[in-house]
Chains A and B, each alone.
Chain A
Amino acid sequence: MGELKLMKGNEAIAEAAIRAGVDAYFGYPITPQSEVIEYLMVEKPYETTGMVVLQAESEIAAINMVYGAAASGKKAMTSSSSPGISLKQEGISYMAGAELPCLIANVVRGGPGLGTIQPSQADYFQATKGGGHGDYHMIVLAPASVQEMADFVSKGFDLAFKYRTPVMILSDGLIGQMMEKVILSEHTPRWTDEEIIKLSPWATTGKPASRERNIITSLDLDPYRQEEHNIHLQKKYKEIREKEVEYEEIMCEDAEYLFVAYGSSSRIAQKAIKLGREKGIKAGLLRPITLYPFPSEAIRRLSQQVKGILSLEMSAGQMIEDIRLSVDCEMKVEHFGRMGGVIHSPAEALQALEEKIIGG
């Protein structure tokens, strides 16, 4: 078993990155995720594993540093919070277009604009529907615990390299700032140059006489070839939708009502379910672990068992659109969530279930 520690979610991302053999982290401070780079600067992995850690002059610079490292086959990542993630959208779109693997952690805070520094889940659309310009998706992982913050770093890189695509960890200020127990994995060594050349033959690592030159670009001026490229991307997303869906079902066996909630809201939903069951309300929870691909099939299956579904998100209701697309239109699906950095309480969540689903 790995090492047991009490850590903040943000620190867990940083420590997991060192242990996962990540080659480079580029970031820019922003609350509530600055602990990621602060932790790395204290640990100085550049003196141990050789991992590069650099505070960039902006999020735009940071994501483009990631582009450069990723295009040369390195495991590169960045993290930020909502306003900074908005700035990264250009870079993310370019990386999706150029099919570059990388990991981006968004520790979401309330918006729009400068908004607030308190937790929110209002970046769901941005994360799951593309975010930048063009027809693309990222794989989006939604950790609900500090342990998952750590685990999803290596998981994220595995998926990123498997599909040559940007992967996002979508958490929020609650998971980022909270401390919980974490079991840390053993150290994985960073890839050697030879391994990189073997694993990522597409990467720009310097052209030997033995191969054609490698070019990393998202540009193709010929619309027919650009369309070909888009068809290829869509095939990849289809494969991701077929193979990579992950979710957790909690107390669904006998559930008459269903919460669908991810990340911190899924924790609150669990408490709400407990409070409900004390009153005889049989509710269960479906927790999407991947938000893209979305667990539509599982929700559809459960919708045939329950009388109604409450989407619990700290937003005006974004994931609810994907839930509605997953079920028959007669199914009762409602949303509840506080906004702007306010965290809904378990009691409020239960009350919403009673009023909007059971009573309504």
Chain B
Amino acid sequence: MKDEISEIVNVENLVYKKTPLMTDNILSYCPGCGHGTAHRITMEVLEELGIGEKTIGVAPVGCSVLAYEFMNIDMQQAAHGRAPAVATGIKRTWPHKIVFTYQGDGDLAAIGTAETIHACNRGENFVIIFVNNGIYGMTGGQMAPTTLPGMKSSTSPYGRDVHIMGNPLKMTELIAELPGTRFVTRQAVHTPGNVRKAKRAIKKAFENQMNFKEGINFVEIVSNCNSGWKMTPVHSNEWMVENMFPFFPLGDIKVDGELVNK
């Protein structure tokens, strides 16, 4: 048995290798959660672009608060919602470094709305990776600004009533309207095909940061939160395709500073 394995496990047969820009720590995410994939492709992009050593990441408050445990680069952890302001502080003082924030929907589109909009409007030159799972995963499944109408959460136990709780916020469309954004796109990571597309988008975002002096590059990843949605991982992905995608359609919204006409 051991011999058989060592026969198979050799360099010629290698088809996939974990990027060294991910640490060996065991991911703290629930099995089936999209955060892990989003982390991995972000780090693979940094590796492929050869910029791991000059990149500084900013972790949010949310399930990905521990992103610094998994991303094997220099990282800062920001207060809830303030990552775009923290990133501004880094990039303005270290303009030759590569900077990104990684944020959830509560962090980016509720408590951090002001920081998000103003960083985008100022045209800061960093990347924002926005993982939108329509819920507050970290705190146990409360309503998020992106929770769909009628969707149940622990603070909308009878379903989101838009007349009382307001409407879900399409932050990505909103910031695409601002002159300070260069590349704005919405992706997903629930199938291999989508993972490849999302990774291409993230790569473009970082390349833009390297090639231009200003403009936010914003990649939303619509993701599942199987725990918060109280579903199995498989069912949560089906539910996401059926319910989240019609409201948050995938695709590029702004490319090279121009809105994409649909």
B157 interface residue (CB < 8 Å to A): yes
Cβ contact within 8 Å between B143 and A55: yes
Cβ contact within 8 Å between B110 and A114: no
> Do A34 and B65 contact each other (CB < 8 Å), given the known contacts A41-B155, A58-B81?
no
Contact string against A for B residues 139-163, beta-carbon threshold 8 Å, 1 for contact and 0 otherwise: 1101101000000001111100000
CA distance A42 to B159 in the complex (A): 11
A296 interface residue (CB < 8 Å to B): no
List B residues 96-142 near A (Cβ within 8 Å): 110-111, 113, 136, 139-140, 142
> Do A114 and B142 contact each other (CB < 8 Å), given the known contacts A38-B154, A38-B155, A58-B110?
no
Cβ contact within 8 Å between B65 and A29: no
- How near does chain A come to B86, taking the closest CB pair, in angstroms? 13
Q: Chain A contacts of B80 at CB under 8 A? A: 83, 114
Cβ contact within 8 Å between A114 and B136: no
- How near does chain B come to A200, taking the closest CB pair, in angstroms? 26
* Closest partner residue, chain A, to B143 (CB atom): A55
Q: Chain B contacts of A83 at CB under 8 A? A: 79-80
* Closest partner residue, chain A, to B138 (CB atom): A31
Interface residues on B, range: 20 to 34
Q: Chain A contacts of B81 at CB under 8 A? A: 58
Q: Chain B contacts of A30 at CB under 8 A? A: 139
Cβ contact within 8 Å between B155 and A57: no
Interface residues on A, range: 20 to 34
A37 interface residue (CB < 8 Å to B): yes
B164 interface residue (CB < 8 Å to A): yes
* Closest partner residue, chain B, to A113 (CB atom): B79
- How near does chain A come to B229, taking the closest CB pair, in angstroms? 16
Q: Chain B contacts of A57 at CB under 8 A? A: 110-111, 113, 145
Cβ contact within 8 Å between B111 and A58: yes
> Do A46 and B111 contact each other (CB < 8 Å), given the known contacts A38-B142, A114-B61, A114-B77?
no
B165 interface residue (CB < 8 Å to A): yes
A28 interface residue (CB < 8 Å to B): yes
Contact string against A for B residues 68-81, beta-carbon threshold 8 Å, 1 for contact and 0 otherwise: 00000000010111
**Among B77, B140, B156, which residue has its beta carbon within 8 angstroms of that of A41?**
B156
> Do A41 and B136 contact each other (CB < 8 Å), given the known contacts A55-B165, A114-B65, A114-B79?
no
Contact string against A for B residues 44-86, beta-carbon threshold 8 Å, 1 for contact and 0 otherwise: 0000000000000000010001000000000001011100000
* Closest partner residue, chain B, to A60 (CB atom): B111
Contact string against A for B residues 147-185, beta-carbon threshold 8 Å, 1 for contact and 0 otherwise: 000000011111000001100000000000000000000
CA distance A230 to B176 in the complex (A): 48
CA distance A341 to B123 in the complex (A): 40
Q: Chain B contacts of A44 at CB under 8 A? A: 158
List A residues 235-278 near B (Cβ within 8 Å): none
CA distance A57 to B145 in the complex (A): 8
Cβ contact within 8 Å between B139 and A37: no
List A residues 38-62 near B (Cβ within 8 Å): 38, 41-42, 44, 46, 54-55, 57-60
CA distance A114 to B165 in the complex (A): 27
Q: Chain A contacts of B157 at CB under 8 A? A: 38, 41-42
Cβ contact within 8 Å between A34 and B145: no
* Closest partner residue, chain B, to A31 (CB atom): B139
**Among B113, B155, B164, which residue has its beta carbon within 8 angstroms of that of A46?**
B164
* Closest partner residue, chain B, to A38 (CB atom): B154
CA distance A28 to B77 in the complex (A): 21
Cβ contact within 8 Å between A28 and B111: yes
Cβ contact within 8 Å between A55 and B142: yes
Q: Chain B contacts of A60 at CB under 8 A? A: 111
- How near does chain A come to B188, taking the closest CB pair, in angstroms? 25
Cβ contact within 8 Å between A34 and B110: no
Q: Chain B contacts of A41 at CB under 8 A? A: 154-157
Q: Which of B77, B80, B143 has the most CB of A within 10 A?
A: B80
* Closest partner residue, chain A, to B145 (CB atom): A57
- How near does chain A come to B186, taking the closest CB pair, in angstroms? 21
For the A-B complex with A38-B157, A55-B143, A58-B110 known, give 12 more contacts whose Cβ atoms are closer than 8 Å. A28-B111, A29-B136, A29-B139, A34-B139, A34-B155, A37-B155, A41-B155, A46-B164, A54-B165, A55-B142, A113-B79, A114-B65
Contact residues of A with B, CB < 8 Å? Answer: 28-31, 34, 37-38, 41-42, 44, 46, 54-55, 57-60, 83, 113-114
16 A-B pairs with CB atoms under 8 Å apart are A28-B110, A28-B111, A29-B155, A30-B139, A38-B157, A41-B156, A41-B157, A44-B158, A54-B164, A57-B111, A58-B111, A60-B111, A83-B79, A113-B79, A114-B77, A114-B80
* 9 smallest beta-carbon distances between A and B, as pairs: A58-B111, A29-B142, A57-B110, A29-B139, A38-B154, A41-B155, A42-B157, A55-B155, A31-B139
